[in-house]
Structure 1
Amino acid sequence: MASKGAGMSFSRKSYRLTSDAEKSRVTGIVHEKLLNDYLHRIFSSADHASTTATSRKPLNFQNLPEHLDQLLRVDDEEEESQGQVEGRLGPSTVVLDHTGGFEGLLLVDDDLLGVIGHSNFGTIRSTTCVYKGKWVYEVLISSQGLMQIGWCTINCRFNQEEGVGDTHNSYAYDGNRVRKWNVTTTNYGKAWAAGDIVSCLIDLDDGTLSFCLNGVSLGTAFENLSRGLGMAYFPAISLSFKESVAFNFGSRPLRYPVAGYRPLQDPPRADLVRAQKLLGCFQAVLSVELDPTEGQLLEKESSEWQLQGQPTILLTLAHIFHRFAPLLRKVYLVEAVLMSFLLGIVEGGTPAQAQSMVHQVLDLLWLFMEDYEVQDCLKQSMMSLLRLYRFSPIVPDLGLQIRYLQLTIAILSHEKSRKFLLSNVLFDVLRSVVFFYIKSPLRVEEAGLQELIPTTWWPHRSGREGKESKEVKDETSEERLRRRAYERGCQRLKKRIEVVEELQVQILKLLLNNKDDNGGEASRYIFLTKFRKFLQENASSRGNMPMLCPPEYMVCFLHRLISALRYYWDEYKASNPRASFSEDDLASKANILIDPLELQAATMDDLDEDEEPAPAAAQRPMQALAVGGALPLPRPGWLSSPTLGRANRFLSTAAVSLMTPRRPLSTSEKVKVRTLSAEQRTREDIEGSHWNEGLLLGRPPEEPEQPLTENSLLEVLDGAIMMYNLSVHQQLGKMVGVSDDVNEYAMALRDTEDKLRRCPKRRKDILAELTKSQKVFSEKLDHLSRRLAWVHATVYSQEKMQDIYWLLRVCLRTIEHGDRTGPLFAFMPEFYLSVAINSYSALKNYFGPVHSMEELTGYEETLTRLAAILAKHFADTRIVGTDIRDSLMQALASYVCYPNSLRAVERIPEEQRIAMVRSLLAPYEQRPWAQTNWILVRLWRGCGFGYRYTRLPHLLKTKPEDANLPSLQKPCPSTLLQQHMADLLREGPDVAPSFLNSVLNQLNWAFSEFIGMIQEIQQAAERLERNFVDSRQLKVCATCFDLSVSLLRVLEMTITLVPEIFLDWARPTSEMLLRRLAQLLNQVLNRVTAERNLFDRVVTLRLPGLESVDHYPILVAVTGILVRLLVHGPASGIERATSVLLADPCFQLRSICYLLGQSEPPTPGTALSAPDRKHFSLQSYTDYISVEELAQVEQMLAHLTTASAQAAAASLPTSEEDLCPICYAHPISAVFQPCGHKSCKACINQHLMNNKDCFFCKATIVSVEDWDKAANASATSSAA
């Protein structure tokens, strides 16, 4: 360990034990006989003869060193010959061979015992090999992924595809795939999990190799190993990317020693004997009391011992620690001797007694040992505790975890030790977050869950997926009894887990203590500095996965941190009764925005000389991402100063450049800002002082001044929110997989039981197979249901749900405060919006199936507040970051799919609702429009023609990937928001035309793209050679189809709500919009309804990825529009719509007949024939289309049949010269000025909606005039 000062040499503390001149004074402490008896009692030898010999000569402090030398003398011959152990070759200290050319493929810890995969499949071996005897080493599994652990020879050659076990003379066990490897592979052993310990044993006398998992033998894996000349075996491992393990070759006591096998690295036996003897002497001091008045020794409980400053005891302890201190710096001895002693203290009394005793031991360590010795000892002790906690097996009462956490609390409750560990060990050396993690058992039988939860149960989901309503299955009395027994078992498990969680919260309470500032900075401020660095590393290392804290640890850490934070906040609130607290308490104080006047820098130029180097600025991640997405400017060093600590996280330098200072910095203040670093923040820097609020808390201008809160707690809160955004939310989603597995197996078991009931008894072979399957599913469900109980207790409990709900409310209040700051809202960190969205999603999707959200306090109000934020900010111009804008849009789209959240949107103030709908009706060009259109479709779904389905009819027999998807929710239209839409479309002359023009443009694009892609797919399918269609192309094709359907539905909604936009030709754009609509409808009908055409053939193929492509959704949408135009409209409107539809050259009456399964139009006066079952017909979908709707289609067909016959009789032939040169469908009726080119009015009006240049010559069109050939000819002749 490095020295405390440069050039400083360490020396033993000088205790001035005794000298001949002082003999009388020393022996005057207690009389000689009592001192002799006391020292003999303390330093007694196990050798009786030695004790007898020593007792002839009085023992005092003058001859005590000689006596100790004799007592601690050990036979050193074996210790000295460790390096030449028979059967082993290599250094006596065994580590991983870091010179083996693995650079870049693996990351190896500083102690050369830990390794992390950093490539596809990297391999590393140890520095020592064995060729004779029985040997063992242990591997501590930190992640449960793909690894092969075992032995290899020096001649084995590995690469990124082949590792240990893939070559001759290399042997491996793979607990991820539960197999053993030696060129070939077979099943072997059990599955391992993170936190397990694998023991690798090799017997070179018998030529066998075996493995143990957590001390339980897995049996012999390999026999007849190659032995002899040149055959020596190295411990080796191959591991895939980001997998991590730690080796124990014997540098620490083996967790699971095996009789007859010795570790590769021999333990320090001589030092171990000395340490155990010295520990015995120390324990004797604690259990013997001097009574000088009576002149006798008294036995007492060591737990009652108190350091009272008696010179005799102090000198005795000084002699002990003079020899004990150097030994306590060694890893093996700390774990084997000191930790065993401390754990014995924890086991032997109440927590209070144990804590008091541990404190006294630590006081003695700090008193009698050099600082560097105590620090080394504490560091090794905490590392040992962490390993013990992390790699201890789960037992039914969680007793092991409780013991280790109690000892951790006892050590950390010692103030001096806590501050040292916080400053130097907990976050710098250790991954201390592990202390807050409760690992989930992979094997429930080993965790004792079978005894704790003897009766298993799982929810039964009845009813087929996709139906409009699920059947409610009554619970039988037997199922009710099973469920209640299961719930009682879950409660027992939860209570045991809560004991561990409470201990973990106590640890964080100690780390967040801000009252222990007697000997320097309080613990809380040391913790905040380390906590900030921890968050920075995890935020900046998102691309470097091996360096990240595992997300399962982050979940537990977040919940414990919130519990400790709320405890201290309640304590602060109680100690400041005069402070004003709002309904949300801490949530209302989480006000991260900064008053620009508080940034006290005169100009950026004043601080140019303090800019940090460019490489450092580039390497350090930006902690605050402006929601506004402004380009980051060069980051000056002063922005990282502690005074601006909070601003550093929440403002970009782009914001700083816009701010005006209130007053310039004084010289002394500039010096302070420039010299302090983020690693040296003080309480004043964090909490502020009488003249400075620490620049940590800014308030919206209109808010009244509030008493300054504890800014340190706010910084912890900010960190908790950032943690949720970094990895907690994703992990919550992963853990739902256990519940999904339970549902899958429950459904499989129910289907198997149904088959058993239906199976004929004569088919005994089938009955046997079904019975076997039933047994397998039942056993798997028993296992999964117990594991699910563990997950619910540790991840999805009611208390954890309250924590996430509290975070949601914090973020909502923060966003509301930020919104009131005006332009500065653009610089609020975007993760506040992300956490608000994601935490609600987690409550609904992850916690919802276990606990009801309606039980949460203020649930309805919270839903409404979140709805208001989504409605306002999804189109907020202050937010220009693409990702966060997409997230807000998707969140709003999901929000309107569920009845409860949709009602919340309807509860927000009317002006906000109208503003939201106005944003939804903005033209689709120049912005992402698919999600906007989806929102409008969801508001209409349930009101359209044949639009009351949850899943498409042809998909009912298939199982959806996730029945909880927003798109698979029951229709829940909003008539209130539809009315707002209708009012806005009627409001101004430009709103409806611009919106509908963009919808029609996008529909034209989407359907054209769809047709083009299915042509390519059809051509690929018809090729004779074997070929594959790209799955991405199929996905894009299906997306274009879905977009076409949704755009048609938006048009149907618009025509239903505001038909006059198309039918009132007093409006200047109505005729043009109606003609464009008719053109597109006829194009869709012609493409989809033609018999055995392209669309029909692709639908028949039923390609994976094109499941949603079918006749029904698109034809029903088109039918809805036609019915609204031709049946429901006023007489004048029906006449106009009919004339426009029939005038379109693409109109075919056969396409309308196709809707009812007719190949030809019926003659007037005859009834419609029954549809051919081989063809599509709306009459076949009686569950989806009502009788009234079918009657309207028949009425429309009859009307069009009559009108088309009349139009055909009245039509006159037109010469080709008089046809529009753009569409060749309508006669020329308009002339462009000034260029004079001509076309029909429909074409030029459509062209001018998007472009003002002439279609032919690209000259700018000034005006369009009517043109009539006859009138123009007469005018020309008269002029002539």
Structure 2
Amino acid sequence: MAEDSLRHNGFLSGLAVLLSDDDPRGVSQNSHLISYCDDIGNQSVERTLEHIFDLPYKSICPSGTSIDVEFIRSILRNQLPRFQLDPAVDSRNRDGMSIAKHGSGPDVVVIDDASICGDIKIIRKPLLIESLAEFSSARANSCVWKGKWMYEVTLETSGVQQLGWATILCPFTDRKGVGDAEDSYAFDGKRVSKWNKEPKSYGQSWVVGDVIGCCIDLDADMISFYRNGESLGVAFDGVRKMERGLGYYPAISLSKGECCDLNFGARPFKYPIDGFLPIQAPPSSRYFATYLLQCLCRLFEVQCLDKSESAYFEKFRRLKRFAPLKELFSSISRGICEEFFNLIKESEECAEYMAWDAFVSFLLEVFGAQEPHDYASLDQIIDLFLEFSGSSSLFQHVIVALSCSCKVAPIVLMECPYSGSYPYLALACHILRREDMMVLLWKSPDFGFSLEGFLSRKSPNKQDLHSLIPSVWWPGSSEDIGSESSMMMTMTALSAAVNKIEEMQQEVCSLVIHFIPPVSPPQLPGSVFRTFLQNLILKVRGADHKNPPSGVSSNSILVSLYTVILHFLSEGFSMEDFPGSMKGSRMNAGTDGGFLHRGGKRSFPVDLFLKADPNCIRTPRIGGSVNHVLKSYQVNGLETEKVFWDEGCMDDEDTRITHSTRQKPCCCSISDVDVVQTSKDNIRYATKSSKGTCSPIPERSAHVAAECSVRSLSDEIADKPSSSDQSETDFGYQSLQHLESVPMTNQLSSGTLREEELLDIMLLLYHLAVAPNFRQAFYYMTHQSQSISLLDDTDKQIRERSCIEQVKRLKEARNVYREELVDCVRQCAWYRISLFSRWKQRGMYATCMWIVELLLVLSNTDSIFLYVPEYYVESVVDCFHALRRSDPPFVSSAIFIKQGLAPFITFVVKHFNDPRISSADIKDLLLQSISVLVQYKDYLIAFENNKEAVRRMPRALLLAFDNRSWIPVTNILVKLCKGSGFGSSKHAETSSSALFQVLLREACVHDEVLFSSFLNRLFNTLSWSMTEFSVSIREMQESYQIGDLQQRKCGVVFDLSCSLARILEFCTREIPQAFILGPDMNLRRLTELVIFILNHIILGVDAELFDLAISYKGMLLLQN
């Protein structure tokens, strides 16, 4: 059993390899080291071979035999018995399990088809599975009744899954699965529970990418679970003994859409647990394969000793001066490789296991997990292995293994910045820069699966964040769990790790974009990447429309892809050196910045809205569904149209700020001083403001941001920081950048990947994946602010109280608030690192500018505007507010709109009541944007300075006061009318607008029909709200226990009633003639309403109820 628990995750490097005495199976060789005490000087070839092959001193005697490939292989074959397992011992170790024969071959553990209840589909072999039914369960075809066994489950989704063990007698139904019977045991990390007939709290919450180890110890009658190699404790003890052949089966239950990858031992475990055996026996030749690759590693190290000129290696050479191997290198390396490939020819399963196990570890050891990487040695090794038959299959397995490793690799603080998926991404990038390797990946059926893996990023849970951010601090904190400086250092280290991973993901996508597949007729650069994007979006949109296809991609993949495309479009991307460069509406080489920061003439191809692919057809449009819009406006002639405009054309010439003007927009006018100051204030801003919001970590030099002009996606790869100092000419092979030219025409081909296409996809990715992340981030920011207030208030009460029992209860409550606050600070810090980096904010700002202008231009043509996808509007509005709420802000609120986003005000004002927009939700979104902005003085000034707002908004607000939109319109009107009436403050209202008050009065006076209709709806709504408020407070009085929902409902209705009353007050004060000289009904209804309100707040029982409601509202405010 000890033999199978061994795991060689990596090779010993450098001096450690040369001095190691460890036999791969733990058998010590006393004569392993060569003694040089009496023999200093050049050693013979025989001594060098002894070192390379880990042989005793002078075990190779000088002879006249030439050292050729066969001689090397004979040495290696003689070592084979050292690494062979004793069949009798191995049989005894595996005596407590059995495998039912299956079509997959002997001794292969798979899902037993006969055991499946529900619908489980294998997405990718061997055992990446997904539930297509509401609840699906299944068992493996193997059971255990004695010994210690385990299997691993890698989570592709993180919903309800029950993983564990069950006997064959445990029933599976559409409601009951693993853990729901007597001899059935399961763990569910979604609900953080263990299951054996009934749930009990256990373990930790899990996340996508977690590797769950399911272990059963039938010697001690216990079942335990592990999360990423860390024990969650004993879940069940007293597990019932079973007879031979009637043991416990690995079993799983999945909710609909849940997906996981089962590994019973067909691949090496990611986190093997000491003493536990895999259910499926690994290849017996794995130790010998590891030995062969260790020999090859030592061969390369000896070669490096000969080449090195460092003082360290010069000193080391004097201690161990091996004979030169230039003439023998080929024979030795080929002999080792021939033995290695002879091993993996046993079966495809053996080749896969070796690739995932020893070979990937060997490549990582040679290449290096950190910079500087050894590119030359890795290239030499790849060239060597590619000479052998079977190498293509081997490297296909390597690419998949690296991709899967990216999914599960967590960021570790002590390993930053080269942590998480960075080592695997860096190795994969270098391998894929070779033309032959990229072709190999492209031809593989796992192309999409592998690329998604490279774009995955494992998110931390609560416990992970505790390890990543052990030191926590916030302004005013008197806790002993951290300091400002230590938290700043931690965030800097984690930010560097995230940047490294993002840089590698950008390089992977860059390589795919540049790749020209070897097909006829020739394709253009970007065609492969476009196909990948289309397939990925199709999967995601299928799930979005409640018809989930197989293998729905995780949120992290979409976020990473969005980040990659944002970087390409904002920071720039080199395509010029490639045949058939990526085309935009305009190409100008030799300038600075990316597509989003080009000044001057802009254009957009309308055909992006009219594509015939499924993604485009099912996308809701401004004018409704595609079929509905087609009935109203035919697309004849639109397929080839482009819209053109000049940047800033919506603004007045005297206030216009563009990338071409002397004063740049916010995204391109940030000074070095601003960036440095922001960096210093990262932690301080995180909790200093009342919002408790997150702050960005700038990592991009500000002078780059200032260099904006007309530029295509070009030149930037040479400019941006590289993950290494190695130049492409030193790589020793033909780079993808020097592939053969493909004939191209000057005319834009439909196969050319356009920057506008990337922009279109980026907006959809933002809508699907990034916007929810921002909402989650702002939730934690708000909760953090509330927790700080609660903690401060509790501390104050503890100081003021003298009763011991009260102080005790307050301290208990304080501990709860403190834990919640610490969790929130960590969550906010993580979102600050992953979402609010400076270059991302710059790109988001430029995206808002670009899309707002596009929408305004398109809105001038009905036939085109109606086809615009709804997510264009949703994404630009959400992106705008995400930037506005970032803390510290991207820029101050005084210039946030003024220097680049003035057209945003124009857009929301023109379209919140646009009859062409069919979706009421989109109109509400625009109204809510206005409602939020007008409560801040700087943004209100922007509305007052906007011609469209002055001309359109007052009348449009009165028209929009209907049964659906009256609440946001009420919120807007009451903010504009502040300061007018008997309830106004003596001091000037910060968010009131004298200008809009005048405009509203004029709109009411000049359009009596509109005002009469508005006033009627206002009376009706106010009467309803006051009646509803009266009923609510009576229900509260009659209830024995008042719930939070009741309190909140009462508070909301009261606030709405007050707001409506303020608007009515504004109307009576500013337009008295409507009541004095207008219809008698207006004055009568006003009088009745005033009497009704007074009766409910100053007289009798109703007055007491009102006081009660106000007190509850005050309590609610304190609680929030």
Structure-2-length-normalised TM-score: 0.71
Cα distance in structure 1, aligned partners of 2:749 and 2:868: 18
2:351 is the alignment partner of 1:356: no
Q: Which residue of 1 aligns with 2:400?
A: 383
The aligned runs of 1:749-788 (5 Å cut-off) are: 749-760=791-802, 763-771=803-811, 773-774=813-814, 777-778=817-818, 781-782=821-822, 784-788=824-828
- Kept in 1: contact 2:607–2:639 (CA 8 A): no
Q: Find the residue that maps to 2:224 and give its secondary structure.
A: strand
Letter of the aligned partner of 1:133 in structure 2?
G
Cα distance in structure 2, aligned partners of 1:147 and 1:361: 42
Rate the CA distance shift 1:287–1:856 in 2: closer, same or farther, 3 A: farther
Letter of the aligned partner of 2:449 in structure 1?
V
Q: Which residue of 2 aligns with 1:861?
A: 899
Rate the CA distance shift 1:383–1:1106 in 2: closer, same or farther, 3 A: farther
Letter of the aligned partner of 1:167 in structure 2?
A
Q: Which residue of 1 aligns with 2:834?
A: 794
Rate the CA distance shift 1:289–1:1001 in 2: closer, same or farther, 3 A: closer
Shift of 1:907: 1.4
Cα distance in structure 2, aligned partners of 1:535 and 1:381: 26
Cα distance in structure 2, aligned partners of 1:146 and 1:1012: 44
| Match 1:836 to one of 846, 854, 876 | 876
Shift of 1:111: 2.6
Greater relative CO (CA pairs within 8 A, separation 6+) = 2
Rate the CA distance shift 1:886–1:433 in 2: closer, same or farther, 3 A: farther
Q: Which residue of 1 aligns with 2:999?
A: 980
- Kept in 2: contact 1:328–1:377 (CA 8 A): no
| Match 1:524 to one of 511, 523, 526 | 526
Q: Which residue of 2 aligns with 1:914?
A: 951
Cα distance in structure 2, aligned partners of 1:1090 and 1:779: 47
Rate the CA distance shift 1:480–1:784 in 2: closer, same or farther, 3 A: closer
Letter of the aligned partner of 1:1056 in structure 2?
R
The aligned runs of 1:919-930 (5 Å cut-off) are: 919-922=956-959, 930=967
Letter of the aligned partner of 2:597 in structure 1?
D
Shift of 1:136: 1.8
Q: Which residue of 2 aligns with 1:622?
A: 617
Cα deviation per residue 1:767-794 (whole Å; 9 max; x = unaligned)?
A: 4554455456545544543443233222
Fraction of identical pairs, as percent = 23
Q: Which residue of 2 aligns with 1:693?
A: 748
Cα distance in structure 2, aligned partners of 1:252 and 1:589: 55
Shift of 1:403: 2.0
Cα distance in structure 2, aligned partners of 1:1031 and 1:807: 40
Rate the CA distance shift 1:406–1:491 in 2: closer, same or farther, 3 A: same
Cα distance in structure 2, aligned partners of 1:170 and 1:582: 58
| Structure 2 spans left out of the alignment, 5+ residues | 1-43, 101-106, 305-316, 577-583, 642-741, 1116-1120
Shift of 1:112: 5.4
Shift of 1:339: 0.3
Q: Which residue of 2 aligns with 1:457?
A: 473
Q: Which residue of 2 aligns with 1:996?
A: 1011
Shift of 1:723: 0.6
The aligned runs of 1:1188-1207 (5 Å cut-off) are: none
Shift of 1:999: 1.9
Q: Which residue of 2 aligns with 1:808?
A: 848
Q: Which residue of 2 aligns with 1:1053?
A: 1066
Shift of 1:263: 1.1
Cα deviation per residue 1:202-257 (whole Å; 9 max; x = unaligned)?
A: 22223233333333334433333211437511122344454443322111112232
Cα distance in structure 1, aligned partners of 2:877 and 2:465: 39
Q: Which residue of 2 aligns with 1:895?
A: 933
Rate the CA distance shift 1:1099–1:821 in 2: closer, same or farther, 3 A: farther
Shift of 1:404: 2.1
- Kept in 1: contact 2:931–2:968 (CA 8 A): yes
2:612 is the alignment partner of 1:557: no
- Kept in 1: contact 2:1005–2:1011 (CA 8 A): no
Larger Rg: 1
Shift of 1:724: 0.6
Q: Which residue of 2 aligns with 1:512?
A: 513
Aligned residues: 935
2:266 is the alignment partner of 1:266: no
The aligned runs of 1:1075-1224 (5 Å cut-off) are: 1075-1090=1080-1095, 1097=1102, 1100=1105
2:483 is the alignment partner of 1:495: no
Shift of 1:432: 1.8
Shift of 1:1090: 3.9
Q: Which residue of 2 aligns with 1:1071?
A: 1078
2:788 is the alignment partner of 1:746: yes
Q: CA RMSD in A?
A: 5.3
Rate the CA distance shift 1:165–1:566 in 2: closer, same or farther, 3 A: same
- Kept in 2: contact 1:151–1:233 (CA 8 A): yes
Cα distance in structure 2, aligned partners of 1:1018 and 1:123: 50
The aligned runs of 1:22-421 (5 Å cut-off) are: 78=87, 85-91=94-100, 92-104=107-119, 106-111=120-125, 113-116=127-130, 122-159=136-173, 161-183=175-197, 186-229=200-243, 231-270=246-285, 272-276=286-290, 278-279=292-293, 282-283=296-297, 319=338, 323=342, 326=345, 329=348, 330-347=351-368, 350-353=371-374, 355-369=375-389, 374=392, 376-396=393-413, 397-398=415-416, 399-401=418-420, 402-421=422-441
- Kept in 1: contact 2:155–2:261 (CA 8 A): yes
The aligned runs of 1:947-958 (5 Å cut-off) are: 947=984
Letter of the aligned partner of 2:361 in structure 1?
S
Shift of 1:449: 3.0
Q: Which residue of 2 aligns with 1:1123?
A: none
Letter of the aligned partner of 1:139 in structure 2?
V
Cα distance in structure 1, aligned partners of 2:783 and 2:1030: 40
Cα distance in structure 2, aligned partners of 1:890 and 1:1008: 24
Q: Which residue of 1 aligns with 2:28?
A: none
Cα distance in structure 1, aligned partners of 2:834 and 2:997: 44
Rate the CA distance shift 1:307–1:251 in 2: closer, same or farther, 3 A: farther
- Kept in 2: contact 1:517–1:523 (CA 8 A): no
Which moved further from structure 2: 336-345 or 529-538? 529-538
Cα deviation per residue 1:1033-1076 (whole Å; 9 max; x = unaligned)?
A: 996x988876665555444434433444555xxxxxx532xx12
Cα distance in structure 1, aligned partners of 2:1066 and 2:844: 38
Letter of the aligned partner of 2:1070 in structure 1?
L
Letter of the aligned partner of 1:458 in structure 2?
W
- Kept in 1: contact 2:206–2:461 (CA 8 A): no
Shift of 1:47: 7.9
Shift of 1:81: 8.6
Q: Find the residue that maps to 1:447 and give its secondary structure.
A: helix
Shift of 1:535: 2.0
Cα distance in structure 2, aligned partners of 1:1102 and 1:160: 53
Letter of the aligned partner of 1:168 in structure 2?
E
Q: Which residue of 1 aligns with 2:659?
A: none
Letter of the aligned partner of 2:272 in structure 1?
P
Cα deviation per residue 1:12-67 (whole Å; 9 max; x = unaligned)?
A: xxxxxxxxxxxxxxxxxxxxxxxx98999599977889987997866756898888
Q: Which residue of 2 aligns with 1:1255?
A: none
- Kept in 2: contact 1:939–1:973 (CA 8 A): yes
Shift of 1:341: 0.8
Shift of 1:334: 0.7
Cα deviation per residue 1:551-588 (whole Å; 9 max; x = unaligned)?
A: 34433432233223434357769993489999953587
- Kept in 2: contact 1:871–1:913 (CA 8 A): no
Rate the CA distance shift 1:631–1:766 in 2: closer, same or farther, 3 A: closer
Shift of 1:867: 0.4
Shift of 1:898: 2.4
Which moved further from structure 2: 531-540 or 239-248? 239-248
Shift of 1:379: 3.4
- Kept in 1: contact 2:157–2:554 (CA 8 A): no
Rate the CA distance shift 1:257–1:194 in 2: closer, same or farther, 3 A: same
Cα distance in structure 2, aligned partners of 1:978 and 1:731: 38
Rate the CA distance shift 1:306–1:347 in 2: closer, same or farther, 3 A: farther
Letter of the aligned partner of 1:829 in structure 2?
P
Cα distance in structure 2, aligned partners of 1:583 and 1:205: 65
